[in-house]
Structure 1
Amino acid sequence: MTLTKRKNAFIELGKFLSQFHLDNSQQKEGVLYNDTYYENMLNLIQASRSHNGWYTEEQVFFSLESWAEALTPENLEKWLSNYDLNNIKPKTVGLVLAGNIPLVGFHDFLSVLITGHKALIKTSSNDQHLLPFLAKYLITVEPEFKDFINFTEGKLEGFDAVIATGSNNTARYFEYYFKDKPSIIRKNRNSAAILTGNESREDLIGLGEDIFRYFGLGCRNVSKLFVPTGYDFKDFFEAMYEYRDVIHYDKYANNYDYNKAVFLMSNFKLLDNEFLTIKEDSGYASPISSVFYEYYDNLDTLKQKLESEQDQLQCVVSNNLTENSIPFGQTQKPRLLDYADNIDTIAFLSKI
C-alpha cells in the first residue's frame, strides 16, 4: 500500500470524525460510508459512559473533534514532510494501549499504520470500543488495511517491535518482557504550569481547561502549579469557578470527597472551593480533584529544576517562560508532531 493511499484513508477518517459535536452533530455531504457508520458512531458515543464511567459524551466528543482537526491534508503533510517513508519494509508492531482518556492510543495507532507497518493492538479494558470502531471505518475506506490491523485480547505474540504505555510499575514488567525487541516504553508523567501572578483571567480560565479536561486523568493534564512566593490564589479560584459543574459527575465527586477526607485526616493544609482542592506538595502526581502547588523564588532556578526533572513531565504550561512551553488551555490539543515523552515515534518506526 502506498503512502498516498494511507494518508488519504486517514484524511477520510478525519472528515468522518468532523461530523460529531456535542451540541450539533450532523451528517455532511460527501463523507464516505455515512449510511453504514454515522448512526452507529453516535450510538457508540452515547454508550461510552456505560463502558467507562469517565467517558462522558462531552469528553468523547472532545477527543473526536481533536482528531478531526488533526487529520487534515495540511496537518498530515506538515507532520510527515521531514521523514522518508517510501522504502520502509512492513514489520508487525505490538501496541499496548492505555485507557485513561478516550482514544489515548490513537497517535501510536496512526503512526504505525502511516509508516506502512502492521499494528497488533492490545487495548486497555477501559477503552475497548472506540478504536476498533474507527479501525473498521478505516478498513472500509481502504480495504488493504485489513491485513495491517489486528486486535488481540490475549498475549502479544509474533511482533517485531512494541510501543507500550502503562504505569511506572507495569513499565518494569514491559521492559523485562520486551527486552529483546525494539521498544518504546512509556511510564507515568504529569504536566505542570508556571504562574507569575500576571496572568489574565483568560489565561487562568485556559488553565482550568488544562486541569479539568478528561477530569484530570491524562498525562497532559496540569496536576502541579509553580507559583511565586506569596502568590494570591484569589484570581485562580475565581477562574476555576467556570468549571464548577464538574462536581455533578458522580465519579469525580466521589474522588473529591474521598481525597479531601484523606488530606484532612492527615492534617494537611488545603485550599478548597468545593470542587477542587489545592495542596502544597513537592510531587507532580496529584490525585483526581486535586492540584499540587509549590512556591518558587527565582524563575531561573525553577527552570533548572524542571530541566533536571523532565523525565517526570509531559508538558509545561506558561506564557513562554520556558522553551517549548504550551499556552494556557492547549495541553489537550496536541499537534501530530507533539510526541508523548518527547520520543519521536515516526523516527523509531522508520528504523525498526
Structure 2
Amino acid sequence: MDLQQRINAFTKLGAFLNQFQNDDIIKNDKVETNDLFFDGFKHQIKLAKEHNGWFTKNNINFTLKNWSNSLTESNINDWINKYNFNTLNPQTVAIIMAGNIPLVGFHDFLCVLISGHNVLVKQSSNDKHLLPYLAKYLELVEPEFKGKIKFTEEKLENFDAVIATGSDNTARYFEFYFKNKPSIIRKNRNSVAVLSGKETTEQLENLADDIFRYYGLGCRNVSKLFVPKDYDFQALFKAVYKWHPIINESKYANNYDYNKAVYLMSEFDMLENGFLMIKEDESYASPIATLFYEYYNDSETLKEKIISETDKIQCVVADAFLEHEIPFGETQNPRLSDYADNVDTVEFLLEI
C-alpha cells in the first residue's frame, strides 16, 4: 500500500465523520460504504455515552467535527509533505491510549498508519467504542489496512516501538517496562493562559471554551491563569457565564459541590460564581470545576518561568506574549502538526 492509498483512506474517513458533527446527524448518501457503517456508528456513539458519563453528545460531536475538518486531502498533504516515507521499514508500533476525552489517542493512531507502520492498540476502558469501529471503516475502504491494525486488552506482545500516554505515576512504569524499546512516554501536562488585563470580551469568551470544553479533562484545557497584580476577575466571570448550563450536568455538579466543600472546610480563599471556582495556587493541575491562578510582577520573569517548566505545560494561551502561544479559544482545535508534548510523532516513527 502506497502513501496515496493511505491518504485516500483517511480522507474518506473524514467525509464519513462529517455526518456526525452536529446534534442533528444527517446521512450523506455520497459517503463511501455508508449503508454498512452509518447506523452502526450511531450505535457506537450511543454506547460511548452510556459507558462514560463524561462523553456527552456535545463533546463527542465536537471531537468528530474536529477530525472531519482535519482529515481532508489538502490538510493531510500539508501536514506530511515535509517527511520522507520512502525509506521506511514497516514496524509494529504499540499505542497505549488515555481515555480522558473522546478519541484522545486518534492522532497517534493516524501517525502510525499514515507513516506506513502497523499498529497495536491498547485502549483505555473509558474510551473503547469509537476507534475500533472507525478502524473497520478504514479496512473496508482500503483493504490493504487489514492485518495492519490490531486491538488488544491483554499484555502487549510482539511490537517494535511504543507510544504510551498516562499519568506521572504510570509513566515511571512505562519507562521501566519499555526501556529496551524506542518509545514516546507522555506524562501529566496542563495548559495555561497568560492574561494582561487588556483582553477583549471576545478573547475572554473564547478562553471560556479553552477552560470548559470536555469539562476541563484534557491536557489542552486551560487549568491555570497567570494574571497581573490587582487583576479584576469580574470581566472573566462575565465572559465565562455562557458556560453556566454546565452545572446542570450531574457529574460536573458533583465535582463542583465536593471541591467547594473541601475548600470551605479548609478555609481556602477563593472566588466562585455558582459553576466555577477560582483559587490562587502554584500548581498547574486544578480539580474539575476549579481554575487556579498565580500573580506575576513582570512579563520577562514569567516568560522565564514558563520556559523553565515546559515539561509541565501543554499549551500557553496568550496574545503576543510567547512565540509558540495559542490564540484564545483554539486549544481544542489543534492542527495535524500540533504534536502532544511538542514531540514530533511522525519523525520518531520514521527513525525506528
TM-score tier after normalising by the smaller chain length: over 0.9
Query: How far did 1:137 drift?
Result: 0.6
The alignment partner of 2:279 has SS state of: strand
After the TM superposition, which residues 1-352 of structure 1 pair with which residues of structure 2 at under 5 Å, given as runs?
Answer: 1-352=1-352
Query: How far did 1:326 drift?
Result: 0.3
Q: State the identity as a percent.
A: 59
Q: Kindly indicate whether the alpha-carbon contact (under 8 Å) linking 2:23 and 2:61 is maintained by their aligned counterparts in 1.
A: no
Counterpart-to-counterpart distance in 2, 1:253 and 1:22: 25
Q: Kindly indicate whether the alpha-carbon contact (under 8 Å) linking 2:45 and 2:129 is maintained by their aligned counterparts in 1.
A: no
Q: TM-score, structure 1 length as denominator? A: 0.99
TM-superposition CA deviations, 1:89-138 (whole Å, max 9, x none): 11000100000000000000000000000000000010011110110111
Q: Kindly indicate whether the alpha-carbon contact (under 8 Å) linking 2:48 and 2:128 is maintained by their aligned counterparts in 1.
A: no
Q: Kindly indicate whether the alpha-carbon contact (under 8 Å) linking 2:23 and 2:58 is maintained by their aligned counterparts in 1.
A: no
Counterpart-to-counterpart distance in 2, 1:318 and 1:72: 29
TM-superposition CA deviations, 1:304-331 (whole Å, max 9, x none): 1000000000000011211110000000
The alignment partner of 2:347 has SS state of: helix
Query: How far did 1:41 drift?
Result: 1.5
TM-superposition CA deviations, 1:283-312 (whole Å, max 9, x none): 100001101000111011100100000000
Query: How far did 1:43 drift?
Result: 2.1
Give the letter aligned to residue 2 of structure 1: D
Counterpart-to-counterpart distance in 1, 2:274 and 2:49: 24
Pick which of 14-23 and 196-205 moved more: 14-23
Counterpart-to-counterpart distance in 1, 2:320 and 2:343: 22
Give the letter aligned to residue 320 of structure 1: A
Report the number of matched residues.
352
**5+ residue gaps in structure 1?**
none
Counterpart-to-counterpart distance in 1, 2:243 and 2:180: 47
**5+ residue gaps in structure 2?**
none
Pick which of 44-53 and 208-217 moved more: 44-53
Counterpart-to-counterpart distance in 1, 2:8 and 2:209: 32
Counterpart-to-counterpart distance in 2, 1:87 and 1:307: 36
Counterpart-to-counterpart distance in 2, 1:82 and 1:209: 32
Query: How far did 1:87 drift?
Result: 2.3
Q: Kindly indicate whether the alpha-carbon contact (under 8 Å) linking 1:277 and 1:290 is maintained by their aligned counterparts in 2.
A: yes
Q: Kindly indicate whether the alpha-carbon contact (under 8 Å) linking 1:208 and 1:240 is maintained by their aligned counterparts in 2.
A: yes
Query: How far did 1:49 drift?
Result: 1.7
Query: How far did 1:253 drift?
Result: 0.5
Query: How far did 1:46 drift?
Result: 2.6
Give the letter aligned to residue 18 of structure 2: S
Counterpart-to-counterpart distance in 1, 2:89 and 2:206: 43
Pick which of 36-45 and 10-19 moved more: 36-45
Counterpart-to-counterpart distance in 2, 1:35 and 1:240: 41
